[in-house]
Amino acid sequence: MLSCFDKFPIVYIDETGIDTYLYRKQGRSPRGEKVYDKIRGRRFERTSVVAGLVAHKIIAPMIYKDSMTSAFFTKWFDKQLLPSLSEPHLIVMDNASFHPKAKLDKLA
């Protein structure tokens, strides 16, 4: 079924996020003593990274300060990823909820 795609290079795309608000949920203390500490009550910031990988080469990398959304992913896909592909590719991605498959199919 997928043999019709054998002639196309494969581009794998993925994203990840790093929270800048890090704290320990557990601590160490002498046996029988509770651990107390302070943590800030404010929200964390997230730094996200999205990129493609073709033949061990990273393409269209983007770093940004926010969580991934469908709108942002679609914009990156259209304005960053597709222009970096000079020929047709087979695009492989996971099924994350913010990947609007119908919109991406139309763009590709």
The verdict on residue 58 lying in a domain is yes
Q: What was the pLDDT predicted at 98?
A: 77
Digit-coded pLDDT (tens) for 32-51: 998 888 777 666 788 899 99
For residue 14, the domain's CATH number is: 3.30.420.10
| Alpha helix stretches (DSSP H) within 1-108 | 70-76, 101-107
The verdict on residue 33 lying in a domain is no
Does residue 54 register a pLDDT over 90? yes
The verdict on residue 24 lying in a domain is no
The verdict on residue 3 lying in a domain is no
Digit-coded pLDDT (tens) for 73-96: 999 999 999 999 989 899 999 888
Instruction: State the CB neighbour count (10 A cutoff) for residue 14.
Output: 13
Domain count, the chain: 1
Distance CA 35, CA 29 (A): 6
Cβ atoms of residues 8 and 88 within 8 Å: yes
Instruction: State the CB neighbour count (10 A cutoff) for residue 48.
Output: 18
Whether pTM exceeds 0.85? no
Q: How confident is the model at residue 1 (pLDDT cuts 50, 70, 90)?
A: low
The verdict on residue 85 lying in a domain is yes
Range of the domain at 48: 8-18+40-107
